[in-house]
Amino acid sequence: MKIFLIFLFSVFISFLINYLGLRCLRRFQFRQAVRECSPQRHQAKAGTPVMGGLMIITSLDLLAVLFLPYLSGLPRLTNEVIILLTLFTLTGVIGFIDDFLIVKNGKNNGLKARHKLAGQLIIAALFGVYLLKNNFNLMVSPLLYILGMNQPFLYVLLSSFIVIGVSNAVNLADGLDGLASGVSMIVFLAFAFIAWQFNNPQLLYLALFAAIACLGFLVFNIHPAKMFMGDVGSLALGTLLAGFALLLHAELYLALAGIWLVWETISVILQVGYFKLTKGRRLFKMSPFHHHLELCGWPEKKIVRMAWLLTTGAVLLAIIFRIR
């Protein structure tokens, strides 16, 4: 009963943080700048408060500090949780700088891509070194072991690639109301199940709190969105998902559970590659893929629901077949 009340109170805290945060974003005029190349219907979203991801980060960090030790029966946060929250928050700082520059300049022109990538690479590499020093490379999934990814250098490259790749995948998927936050919430619930199987209570509850943080934001992000998460939220959430996958040795599990994120990324790669090969022709009407569906006439809410259902189905398949 106490655990239920704690989680109920956590949902209230997350909702309250997002409610107060939205009021602050409106007061300080942190508003969205829409790219000119976006679908026409997105132009109406210009002026919507952005940087809602700050509330996701605040909610999760606060809930972890307040309740994780008590729920897990441990005197303090474990090193795994501390490093994961640090990874999550630092990536959010990169996203915040990008969002702030966009708001300040009044157009979608924040951090240069190379600067953003450099920051992500430093954070990802440091996390990879931490994993290596704690022998996580010796416990990779069987397939990755066969491919030699247990070797120190290759493992650091793999872990860095996963962190940067998933972080940017969530960033690409954050283009429709409730899309990235809803998909992330479902995958966090999946990681809670994996952590339970590994008998890791702090990662179990941290994943549940991450889902709650997403839920509190989703209340204000569902169509029509009252605020957007911005890069501060999408980059941080993607890094957190990758961190869970690496700490739980569930890299392949994430590839299936996060199939929508994977496809969004692939659609961009295919679009760019096809455009260059054919000297100007396009494979999709627009990428990422959710924009292609929009231009095909799909309503925004229908696309988001499909992404949620597809993610839920992929998570169930990953659990049933014990993908690892």
Q: Residue 139: which of 81, 86, 82, 198 has the closest Cα?
A: 198
Mean pLDDT within 154-179: 95
Task: Check residue 194 and give its pLDDT.
Answer: 93
Give the model confidence (pLDDT) of 15-46 as tens digits. Answer: 999 999 999 999 988 876 666 556 666 666 77
Judge whether residue 103 has pLDDT over 90: no
What is the band of 308 on the pLDDT scale with cuts at 50, 70, 90?
very high
Task: Check residue 105 and give its pLDDT.
Answer: 79
Q: Is the pTM of this model over 0.85?
A: yes
Is residue 294 exposed (0-12), middle (13-18) or buried (19+ Cβ within 10 Å)? buried
Tokens coding 191: 């990681």
Give the model confidence (pLDDT) of 105-118 as tens digits. Answer: 776 677 888 999 99
Report the C-alpha gap between 127 and 277 in whole angstroms: 36
What is the band of 190 on the pLDDT scale with cuts at 50, 70, 90?
very high
Task: Check residue 36 and give its pLDDT.
Answer: 58
Cβ-count burial 200-213 (b if 16+ within 10 Å, e if not): bbbbbbbbbbbbbb
Mean pLDDT within 279-308: 93
Is residue 276 exposed (0-12), middle (13-18) or buried (19+ Cβ within 10 Å)? exposed
Report the C-alpha gap between 212 and 192 in whole angstroms: 12
Is residue 315 exposed (0-12), middle (13-18) or buried (19+ Cβ within 10 Å)? buried
Mean per-residue pLDDT of the chain: 92
Judge whether residue 202 has pLDDT over 90: yes
Which of 17-21, 37-41, 98-102, 253-257 has the highest mean predicted lDDT (pLDDT)? 17-21
